[in-house]
Amino acid sequence: MLAHLPVLQVIVPLIAAPCCLMIRSPAVVGRFVQLATLATLIISLGLVREVLEQGVLSYALGGWQAPWGIEYRIDPLNVYLLVLVSLLGTIVIFAAPTSIKSEIAEDKQTYFYVAYLLCFAGLLGILATGDAFNVFVFLEISSLSSYTLIALGQDRRALWASYQYLIMGTIGATFILIGIGLMYMMTGTLNMHDLATRLDNVSETNTIFTAFAFLFIGVCLKLALFPLHLWLPNAYTYAPSLVTAFLAATATKVAIYILLRFVFSVFGAEFSLTYLPVREILLVLGLMGVVFASTVAIYQTNVKKLFAYSSVAQIGYMILGLSIGSAAGLMATLLHMFNHALMKGALFLALTSVAFRLKQTNLTNMAGIGRQMPLTMAAVVVGGLSLIGTPLTVGFISKWYLVLAAIEQGWWPLAFVVLFGSLLALIYVWRIVETAYFQPISAELSGVREAPVGILVPMWVLVLLNIYFGIDSQFTVSLSELAAHSLYLEGR
Amino acid sequence: MSVAIAVARTRDLFAATMLTGIYSLLSAGFFVVMDAVDVAFTEAAVGAGISTLLMLTTLKLTGQYESSSRPLQRIALVVISVTAGLLFYGFLDMPIFGDPAAPIHQHVAPRYIQHSAEEVGMPNIVTSVLASYRGYDTFGETVVIFTAGIGVLALLSYVRSREDVSQAALAPMQPHIILRIVSKILIPPILLFALYVQFHGDYGPGGGFQAGVIFAAAIILYAMIFGLDVTLKVVNPAVIQFLAALGVLIYASVGIVSLLSGHAFLDYSVLGHDAVHGQHWGILIVELGVGITVASVMLVIFFNFSSRVDKNQDSHS
């Protein structure tokens, strides 16, 4: 059965989804979904072991060898992200049975679970596959289901936010499809590994430049790179809190993965980073993203929106790591992808419990909440410290490696911008801390109690992971180092 | 091209809907010219058929005209022109259409053309590629359709109370005797044709996607002429939802059977006494799964849209 782990990783949640529709009862479905995600997590850990022992795993779907059939190809890069997505997807869904009681109507809960599983499976499918068109198919599954999940938000504006995301996401997906189509036209293959070898002969044609441009812009739309991030703040703000926690932790990371996969494994680092001015573009956009989005975050009154803008800024850091153009920079990017998922997962789950009690997440209504919901707000504080990059949290690890990578190249100004970004993060996190702990309790909060255990446990698991991986970063650092070096080797 | 411009310019949504139908039919024509008969079939059934119907249903909710006229968006025009310019720039180096030396005809395709008959055993190569060589993509596409159905259910479904049903208005088309008789004559052949397309996909153009859409179109036609409530008596929404999930599971079950017999996921060769026979069985079953899911999801979408229409009308009267 071990040989089948690559495909089981994706089809377990994918097949569990229609089963949920047959079970129907939300309570039973909830437990069933938790089991399915837990199984996925175990499979992903099994895959890590296999990859570390045997190197790259290849799985021929339908028994047809690539490039005629579709291949699943698991290497250090995607196994690292498979663990990330399954870990976060599993922890977050354990908060669902409690949380959605207050946020989603009872007759829609089963559909919520089905869409969640589909989105989860879609993201895993994008990660596992070694076939360019298969990426698009699973991108469609994850996108369609995330539009649904966002639109399930109680606020009427959720529909509009989801529609905005739908339009932007569809443009992005179409661009990706055009890019893949053009590449197919010039090479006659869809398998990524095969594409990489065959692209060398045709890499200096207009068609391949165009393919790269469309693919690049399409992916940047999906990963919400500044200034293509406009869909993100509203989508994160008005979606059900749990959905925000899930999407913020996983979806943009997977989009960045697509970018890395095409830039390094398909087009090759030589072509995309040296021949084309991609590094310069990414550097400028990453810097603007960090400074601009962090500044906007300071002025937000809705805490969900505040952290959504902070997510745009954090994506900027990941892109900066990529733009440094060395294995160390790429490693910083990969580390920050994992670590940011842990931070935002914890923070948005904390907001889930705030929303569970208060029915909204406006900062003005949260005065003095630290005394009423001590465990929740403590989670926000730890998550916030991690976001700033305080030592002993994961945020420190990723910023440390990013600054090291920048200094290694002699890019001192970049190191200063990273620290300046942390300062901005300190300001917006402090605003929440100040309101929650140092302002007198407002009258309407007097009866509010701590959130139920169902949300507190998954939230604190994530908070503790933030601290654990901040102290013992061996797992993340060694895997991301392996992935970064193998990507740079592939490019040669 | 001129149809697309007309769609963009008109403020009359009804006309725009009809024009998109024409646009789809025209592009189906293009696909036939380019020898992609299967794609043309799908485009005609989905683009010109079902989606036009769904848009018309939506129009019933929203009204016929665009409410406000917005000023021409210059930035959007510039962005679109740049994008189109880039596309044409990319086309400069592309191999000439139909050039036998083009990479797409040289690398993967020759094996499909020369060996699929002995490896998969289907006369229709498109079906071989779709359902076997790249069967996992098709599985993914089926799940995409299923996801769309879930999306509609999650956002639009509501539980109809008993009052709603008893007060339901007469079907709008009830007085039109010609429509009723013509549709009564047409619906059985349409259903039969759907089954033909379903099971003949191995030999000619067709398959689960097209068949599912055609099958659903027949039922939707019935619902439009004779009213939603009469249709719902025959076609129970809960059963339809069950079927939508079942179709995906039928497809997946083939994969699971091959997994359990120690082969790769969706390796059909284990299903029969020899590999080619197994491929036959595999393709037949997965196409059935696709057909069931597609037809049920189309119906789910239509029912949920149109029961919204009924609900709105009830609340207005």
Q: Are residues B167 and B308 in the same domain?
A: yes
Contact A111 B263 (CB under 8 A): no
Domain assignment of residue B106, yes or no: no
| Per-residue confidence (pLDDT) for residue B312, from 0 to 100 | 62
B25-78 residue pLDDT tens: 888 888 888 777 778 888 888 888 788 877 877 777 777 676 665 666 778 888
Among chain B residues, the shortest Cα distance to A108 is held by B154
Contact B154 A213 (CB under 8 A): no
Better-scored residue on pLDDT, B228 or A168:
A168
C-alpha pair distances (Å), A474 with each of A88, A341, A478: 19, 17, 6
What average pLDDT score do residues B241-265 get? 90
Q: Are residues B183 and B78 in the same domain?
A: no
pTM: predicted TM-score of the whole model, two decimal places: 0.92
Per-residue pLDDT for B158 more than 70?
no
Torsion of CA B286, B288, B293, B298, to 10 degrees: 130
Calculate the CA A459 to chain-centre distance.
17
CA B151 to chain A, closest CA, distance in angstroms equals 5
Q: Are residues B71 and B138 in the same domain?
A: no
| Per-residue confidence (pLDDT) for residue B163, from 0 to 100 | 45
Phi, psi (degrees; rounded to nearest 5) at B12:
-90, 110
Cα distance between residue B102 and residue A195, in whole Å: 15
Of A144, A186, A211, the CB nearest to B144: A144
Phi, psi (degrees; rounded to nearest 5) at A439:
-105, 150
Instruction: Work out how many domains chain B is built from and give that number.
Output: 2
Per-residue pLDDT for B169 more than 70?
no
What average pLDDT score do residues B92-121 get? 76
Q: Which of B76, B94, B112 is the last residue in one of the domains?
A: B94
Tokens of A249: 């932790």
Residue type, A383: G
Q: Are residues B192 and B269 in the same domain?
A: yes
CA B242 to chain A, closest CA, distance in angstroms equals 6
User: B80 pLDDT band (50/70/90 cuts)?
Assistant: confident
Among chain B residues, the shortest Cα distance to A64 is held by B133
Domain assignment of residue B146, yes or no: yes
Of A4, A148, A185, the CB nearest to B155: A148
Calculate the CA A129 to chain-centre distance.
17
**Residue B273 CB neighbours (<10 A):** 7
| Per-residue confidence (pLDDT) for residue B170, from 0 to 100 | 46
Contact B94 A207 (CB under 8 A): yes
Q: Are residues B172 and B34 in the same domain?
A: no
Cα distance between residue B215 and residue B218, in whole Å: 5
| Per-residue confidence (pLDDT) for residue B282, from 0 to 100 | 87
For chain A, the three-class secondary structure string (H helix, E strand, C coil) is CHHHHHHHHHHHHHHHHHHHHHHCCHHHHHHHHHHHHHHHHHHHHHHHHHHHHHCCEEEEHHHCCCCCCCEEEECHHHHHHHHHHHHHHHHHHCCHHHHHHHHCCHHHHHHHHHHHHHHHHHHHHHHHECEHHHHHHHHHHHHHHHHHHHHCCCCCHHHHHHHHHHHHHHHHHHHHHHHHHHHHHHHCCCEHHHHHHHHHHHCCCHHHHHHHHHHHHHHHHHCCCCCCCCHHHHHHHHCCHHHHHHHHHHHHHHHHHHHHHHHHHHCCHHHHHHHCCHHHHHHHHHHHHHHHHHHHHHCCCEHHHHHHHHHHHHHHHHHHHHHHCCHHHHHHHHHHHHHHHHHHHHHHHHHHHHHHHHCCCEHHHHCCHHHHCHHHHHHHHHHHHHHHCCCCCHHHHHHHHHHHHHHHCCCHHHHHHHHHHHHHHHHHHHHHHHHHHHCCCCHHHCCCCCCCHHHHHHHHHHHHHHHHHHHCCHHHHHHHHHHHHHHHHHCC
Contact A185 B104 (CB under 8 A): yes
Per-residue pLDDT for B311 more than 80?
no
Domain assignment of residue B107, yes or no: no
| Per-residue confidence (pLDDT) for residue B135, from 0 to 100 | 87
Phi, psi (degrees; rounded to nearest 5) at A141:
-60, -50
Q: Are residues B86 and B133 in the same domain?
A: no
Domain boundaries, chain A: 2-490
CA B268 to chain A, closest CA, distance in angstroms equals 7
C-alpha pair distances (Å), A66 with each of A59, A458, B134, B185, B275: 9, 41, 10, 49, 19
ipTM of the complex: 0.92
Contact B133 A202 (CB under 8 A): no
Contact B266 A61 (CB under 8 A): yes
Quote the radius of gyration of chain A (alpha carbons, Å): 21
Which of A364, A373, A324 lies closest to A488 in space, CA to CA? A324
B193-215 residue pLDDT tens: 888 888 887 777 778 888 898 89
| Per-residue confidence (pLDDT) for residue B72, from 0 to 100 | 62
| Per-residue confidence (pLDDT) for residue B69, from 0 to 100 | 56
The overall average pLDDT reported for chain B is 80
Q: Are residues B142 and B89 in the same domain?
A: no
Domain assignment of residue B226, yes or no: yes
Residue type, A106: E
Is B12 strand, coil or helix? Answer: strand
Q: Are residues B169 and B284 in the same domain?
A: yes
Q: Are residues B12 and B139 in the same domain?
A: no
Tokens of A461: 């698991």
Is B107 strand, coil or helix? Answer: coil
Q: What angle do CA A323, A300, A102 make, to 5 degrees?
A: 105
Contacts of A248 (CB under 8 A, 6+ apart): A236, A307, A308, A311, A344, A345, A348
Domain assignment of residue B137, yes or no: yes
Per-residue pLDDT for B134 more than 90?
no
The answer to whether the CB of B314 falls within 8 A of the CB of B164 is yes
Domain assignment of residue B82, yes or no: yes
Domain assignment of residue B272, yes or no: yes
Q: Are residues B31 and B135 in the same domain?
A: no
The residues pairing with A55 across neighbouring beta strands, listed in sequence order, are none
Among chain A residues, the shortest Cα distance to B132 is held by A62
What CATH number does residue B23 fall under? Answer: 1.20.120.1200
CA A373 to chain B, closest CA, distance in angstroms equals 32
| Per-residue confidence (pLDDT) for residue A459, from 0 to 100 | 93
Contact B105 A59 (CB under 8 A): no
Set of chain A residues whose Cβ sits within 8 Å of the Cβ of B130? none
Q: Are residues B148 and B242 in the same domain?
A: yes
Domain assignment of residue B147, yes or no: yes
| Per-residue confidence (pLDDT) for residue B66, from 0 to 100 | 65
Q: Are residues B45 and B146 in the same domain?
A: no
The boundaries of the domain holding residue B294 are 123-316
Per-residue model confidence as pLDDT tens for chain A (492 residues): 688 899 999 999 999 999 998 888 888 999 999 999 999 999 999 999 999 998 899 999 888 887 888 999 999 999 999 999 999 999 999 999 888 888 888 888 999 999 999 999 999 999 999 999 999 999 999 999 999 999 998 888 899 999 999 999 999 999 999 999 989 988 888 999 888 888 888 877 888 888 999 999 999 999 998 888 889 999 999 999 999 999 999 999 999 999 999 998 888 888 887 788 888 899 999 999 999 999 999 999 999 999 999 999 999 999 999 998 888 999 999 999 999 999 999 999 999 999 998 888 888 888 888 888 999 999 999 999 999 998 899 999 999 999 999 999 888 889 899 999 999 999 999 999 999 998 888 877 777 888 889 899 999 999 999 999 999 888 899 999 999 988 888 755
User: B159 pLDDT band (50/70/90 cuts)?
Assistant: low
